[in-house]
Structure 1
Amino acid sequence: MNRLPTVDEYLADVTAEKVTAAELLNDRHDPAKVAFTCIDADLNAVDLTYGELRERSEKVASALSKLGVRPGDHVATLMSKSPDMLATLLGIWRLGAVDVPLFTAFAWTAIELRLTASGAKVVVVDADQRPKIQETSAAVVVVGATTEDDAAAQFPEDLSFEALLAAEKPGFPAFVGNKDTPLVLIFTSGTTGHPKGVPVPIFALAAFRQYIEASLDVREEDVFWNAADPGWALGLYYGVLGVMVAGKRNLFLRSGFDAKTCFAVMEKFNVNNFLSAPTMYRSLRAAGVPAGSNIKLRRASSAGEPLTPEVSVWTKEHLGSEVMDQYGQTELGMFIVNAWADELAKEPRPLSMGHALPGFTCAVLENASDNIAGPNTAGRVAVNVKESPLAWFSGYKDAPERTAQRFSADGTWYYTGDAGRRDEDGYFYFQSRDDDIILMAGYRIGPFDVESVLATHPAVQESAVVGEPDEIRGEVVVAYVVLAEGNDGSDDLAAELKTHVKTNYSAHAYPRKVNFVPSLPKTPSGKIQRFILREQAK
């Protein structure tokens, strides 16, 4: 059995009087050890060692400093997964600056919001992403613009990443900060509305490392692959920061996600510890494992949105491991989990998020007060931050009113904004965002409960459930359903799905309306935006 560090041991790294992010993330590790295996669309791969990453990031830090970037300044990154991205991120942190991640699927509106809110001095952008950048006060550094035919060549004011680095030598001294030194300004996904800026300090690295080791159980001999994009919290926290502070290796696939490529990567690189969102697992299930594949996962984990049970059943049968559901937020990372590590592992229960990780004290509060709700009573999921030494979120950037809404008046509770319950054995269950709860004739109905039942019907690929105003009941349940391939929407199928929910969940919570749709509105990170569907249902 691998011994897990204690909470105090995790904290010791980040709470010294002087703390150096570059040391924690990179420089203390064996320079010959592989930090990342970077894979291109043709599955050609190159290993990037901690030593190579140090040298390249020192050049990046030096180049950025000559552009006027100082500790505490913001540098945005609009880059796909590559060695250049990793060197840039570590270079930013080595300089003491703050990364502002930009997802490569963003359009200008989303990019502009983040550049403006952060006041970024520089944006480092891949050449194929450069045309998205419109008028900005930030200096633009382009990666990979090598010929006059490149789209980036039409912007003569741009700076070349390669030229900047060619003029630099390694050896740039790493900035020495403390636990409150910011590393990242990441914005929430906009699941329920306007994105909010979340400052991520060095202190958060303790919690990120714990999740890698305690929840995911990533071991030295594992081939770990976090398939999430580092433009979002799951990919950045646990595909870059968490694995680096833990000294582990991650696969970094540059191409976009599709089931065929995912299976091929698992097969070729012998992946045995996999982390992804439920959307990806559902895509794998829909495609089916290629004939002759020999994929054998030791650990499979899911995060980012609720996991419906049919995914775990399929994954255990076809990939060798059930999927453990994990719960967290951009504001805190993961903190309620079905942990894999031997010391923390408990028998998973259907639809449960599991238990709070050590270092976090969590509860379900009553809806009308901060009293702890009784077992199996629906309420508000919250974190007692005064009793949670690994809790690191202190507030949104330039948004004191939004911050105040997240904490109780006495500062004891952080309100997640999610509804759930906790059973008599301490297992937590997610129901929905607070805003997504459906109030029908005095009943509180969580969309996830209904969606989980709909997911077990063979005709359903995915669904989203919202409330529609009703004069008599207040609200009624409405389902938006994306059908699995080979199925057609009809009145008969709609009636069958209603009966399916009545029979397998509850007679009061079945959808009064079933709308068949080609797709569901989602954030770029894949989370369903139910608030858009609620607007449609009015």
Structure 2
Amino acid sequence: MTTSLNETVDALLDTYDRADAVVADLLCDRHDADAVAFTFVAADLSAHDMTYGELADTSRRLATVLAARGVTRGDRVAVLMGRRRELVTTLLAIWRLGAVHVPLFTAFATGAIRTRLDGAGAGIVVTEPSQRAKLDSSVGVDVLEVGAELDRLVESSPPLASSAAVGGDGPMVMLFTSGTTGSPKGVLVPTRALAAFHSYMHFGLDVTEDDVFWNAADPGWAYGLYYGVLGPLACGRRNLLLDAGFTPESTIATIKRFGVTNFAGAPTIYRALSKCGRIDGISLRRASSAGEPLTPDVVDWAAGALGVEVRDHYGQTELGMVISNAWNDAMAEPLRPGSMGKPLPGYQAGIVDGQIAVDVSHSPLLWFAGYHDAPERTAERFTADGRWYRTADTGRVDDDGFFYFTARDDDVILAAGYRIGPTDVESVIITHPSVVDVAVVGNPDPEGVRGEIIEAFVVPAEGVQAGDELAAQIRQLVRDDYSAHAYPRSVRFVDALPRTPSGKIQRFLLRQR
């Protein structure tokens, strides 16, 4: 079996890691022109399909337009758009020219946009009318706005004659980390990373030809871009793109309306759905989660409410997905509570300096080489001998090779000599019926005795009286269900938790309060 898995990895690398690799060919032109590439879904659930043939023709014409504005191979082109037809057309046009896509999330304000534009050295932004106002004169780049005028220009332009070859090492995306622990860092994604994305679609998510696949993550961030756009295009699988804000009701309605059988999303989505109780009328075959660890209450709820268990997967912007409770029959194993699974084919992982780490020399699908223009921050990630990439996430591995996430390395709480992972405590607190969201951090002990004390920031359910009584219940719940040494000595009730736009808790902001 291992030989077969390795042969699959080798075949993917032979496809994507070539000196003459052309991104547009790999993602679009080699597929059946009549096959559906994406289904675009509006807020009212009306929808329209885009075939590979349509994507190829429109992107070729838009590439001609971009070339006329001076875009050429290696240029950084930022895109500030929602999940609409023009988004994927623009991305393919950028890659046809051998240029580099810089994703901008639509929830960003001007300051966050400017940080990424400056960091990438982007000279042009393609945007939609609803986002245009964010690109004021202080941003200082050329702006191309989609709409009727651009549509006419694209339709009247000749298709680009040929797409640029950039090779397996040629960059195709410059994505910035989400900033959970500080300022975002630039990550250049090479063409050969498509081998890793394709592999995860096959082994981790088990997206088959018969599936109706929906990755609900936003393509402004890694999981949505890698596995909602790049992965589906690479392996020729359709994905739904819903251009509407998240609500549990709209998510359920979309799954029902389009008969989704393979669903992927962030833990926050599943947590919100779990408050809806049992969900009837859906027929999921696979359900997957990534971004933060799934809490046990969600896992227990899913099997009965969704009719399928939710499998937790682990990765980073710098890596893609590397450890997984894989769905593919060749790798699937029974879930272990709290575990994120085992390394996917093409990776070897371990624990180095207390951190989850990837063995560079024995991980052919590992593509990250370092942060853009940041040698010191890059050096922090690799051991001195260059053998291991350290994720800065602490964890452990059991005797059977299953990995468990503990915390971001700088999120570990050191209280009275104990190392406490915030996720363990959060997993208990969230089971309280009056709690809808929670984050746990360590802050200096004001008495100077314990080093740090555990502080819980709790979002109470609507209509719940948040006060001393509920705080006492939460403390006792942790004592009873986890450990007496790990209960939160401080419980603070808040309206919402600070999260990155991709949904990850920004614990460093909570520690600053």
User: 1:363-402 counterparts in 2 under 5 A?
Assistant: 363-365=350-352, 367=353, 379-402=354-377
Contact preservation (8 Å) 2:278, 2:304: no
* Deviation, structure 1 residue 171: 4.3
Matched residues in 2 for 1:143 and 1:288: separation? Answer: 41
- Residue aligning to 2:263: 274
Q: Letter of the 1:143 partner, please give it.
A: V
Measured in 2, the distance between the counterparts of 1:519 and 1:184 equals: 32
1:440 maps to which residue?
Answer: 415
Offset of 1:274 from its aligned partner? 0.3
Contact 2:63 2:159 in 1 (8 A): no
Aligned to 1:122: 124
Between the aligned partners of 1:132 and 1:404, the Cα distance in structure 2 is: 35
Q: Is residue 2:456 matched to residue 1:475?
A: no
Separation in structure 2 between the aligned mates of residue 100 and residue 362 of structure 1, nearest angstrom: 29
Taking the aligned partners of 2:62 and 2:328, their CA distance within structure 1 comes to 37
* Matching residue's letter, 1:533: L
Structure 1 match to 2:197: 208
Conserved? CA contact 1:277–1:305, under 8 Å: yes
Distance 1:520 1:249 in 2: 34
Q: Give the CA deviation at 1:116.
A: 1.1
Which residue in 2 is equivalent to 1:42?
Answer: 44
Identity of aligned residues (%): 55
User: 2:500, 2:268 → 1: CA distance?
Assistant: 12
- Structure 1 length as normaliser, TM-score? 0.92
Query: Shift in Å at residue 38 of structure 1?
Result: 0.7
Note if contact 2:17-2:169 (Cα within 8 Å) is conserved in structure 1.
no
Whole-angstrom CA distance in 1 between matches of 2:348 and 2:492: 40
Q: Determine the structure 2 residue equivalent to 1:139.
A: 142
Aligned to 2:290: 303
Q: Distance in 1 between matches of 2:506 and 2:336?
A: 27
Q: How does 1:319-334 map to 2 (within 5 A)?
A: 319-334=306-321
SS at match of 1:76: strand
Q: Which letter maps to 2:249?
A: K
Whether the aligned pair in 1 keeps the contact of 2:63 and 2:160 (CA below 8 Å) is no
Paired amino acid for 1:295: I
Which of 152, 177, 184 is matched with 1:195 structurally? 184
Name the stretch that deviates more: 22-31 or 5-14: 5-14
* Alpha-carbon distance, 1:238 to partner: 0.2
Name the residue aligned to 2:163.
174
Among 54, 57, 60, which residue is 1:58 paired with? Answer: 60
Residue 170 of structure 1, CA deviation: 2.3
Distance in 2, matches of 1:92 and 1:289, equals: 44
The runs of 4+ residues in structure 1 deviating greater than 4 Å are none
CA displacement 1:83-104 (0-9 Å, x = unmatched)? 1111000111111000000000
Cα displacement string for residues 265-299 of structure 1 (whole angstroms, at most 9, x for unaligned residues): 11110001000001111111223456xx4111100
365, 375, 384: which one aligns with 1:409:
384
Give, as a single letter, the amino acid of the residue that structure 2 aligns with 1:415: R
Residue of 520, 525, 538 corresponding to 2:497? 520
Aligned mates of 1:164, 1:408 — CA distance in 2? 51
Q: Secondary structure at the match of 1:508?
A: helix
219, 229, 241: which is aligned to 2:230?
241
Deviations 1:371-422 (A, max 9, x none): xxxxxxxx21111111110000001111111111111111101110001111
For 2:236 and 2:123, the matched residues in 1 are separated by 30
Residue type matched to 2:205 in 1?
L
Question: Match for residue 154 of structure 1?
Answer: none
C-alpha distance in structure 1 between counterparts of 2:465 and 2:420, whole Å = 28
TM-score (norm 2): 0.97
Partners in 1 of 2:93 and 2:299 — Cα distance? 39
The letter of the residue matching 2:414 is L
Question: Structure 1 residue 161: deviation in Å?
Answer: 2.6
SS in 2 for 1:397: coil
Give the counterpart letter for 2:222 in structure 1. A
In the alignment, what sits opposite 1:491?
A: 468
Q: What letter corresponds to residue 505 of structure 1 in structure 2?
A: Y
Q: Give the secondary structure class of the aligned counterpart of 2:16.
A: coil
Where does residue 35 of structure 2 map in the other structure? 33
Matched, 1:428 2:403: yes
Q: 2:440, 2:161 → 1: CA distance?
A: 53
1:55–1:171 CA contact under 8 A, matched in 2: no
Q: Give the distance between the partners of 2:17 and 2:241, measured in 1 at CA.
A: 30
| Helix, strand or coil at the partner of 2:485 | coil
Task: Specify the code of the residue in structure 2 equivalent to 1:233.
Answer: A
Is 1:81 aligned with 2:105? no
- Distance between the aligned counterparts of 1:229 and 1:187, measured in 2? 14
Distance 1:307 1:332 in 2: 20
Q: C-alpha separation between the residues in 1 aligned to 2:383 and 2:150?
A: 46
3-state DSSP of counterpart to 1:466: strand
Are 1:481 and 1:517, in contact at CA under 8 Å, matched by a contact in 2? Answer: yes
Q: Name 2:107's counterpart in structure 1.
A: 105
Residue range with higher mean Cα deviation, 179-188 or 308-317: 308-317
Partners of 1:69 and 1:509 in 2: CA distance = 55
Q: Do 1:59 and 1:172's aligned partners in 2 also have CA atoms closer than 8 Å? A: no
Per the alignment, residue 318 of structure 1 pairs with 305
Q: How many Å separate the matches in 2 of 1:15 and 1:200?
A: 13
- Separation in structure 1 between the aligned mates of residue 274 and residue 60 of structure 2, nearest angstrom: 43
Name the aligned partner's letter for residue 514 of structure 1: V
Q: Distance in 2 between matches of 1:516 and 1:528?
A: 16
Please report how far the alpha carbon of residue 485 of structure 1 lies from its aligned counterpart in structure 2 after TM superposition: 2.7
Write the deviation string for residues 4-30 of structure 1: whole angstroms up to 9, x where unpaired: 762111111112231111111111111
C-alpha separation between the residues in 1 aligned to 2:82 and 2:421?
A: 36
Q: Say whether 1:256 aligns with 2:258.
A: no
- Out of 94, 99, 107, which is 1:92 matched to? 94
The equivalent residue for 2:506 is 529
SS of the aligned residue for 1:161 comes to helix
Distance (Å, rounded) in 2 between the aligned partners of 1:315 and 1:479: 26
Q: Which of 407, 428, 439 does residue 453 from structure 1 map onto? A: 428
Runs of 5+ consecutive residues of structure 2 not aligned to the other structure: none
The whole-number CA distance in structure 2 between the counterparts of 1:397 and 1:162 is 34
Encode CA deviations 1:113-170: one digit per residue, 9 max, x unaligned.
Answer: 11111111210000111001112332110112x5xxxxxxxxxxxxx53243133122
Letter aligned with residue 324 of structure 1: R
Whole-angstrom distance in 2 between the partners of 1:262 and 1:175: 38
| Partner residue, 2:16 | 14
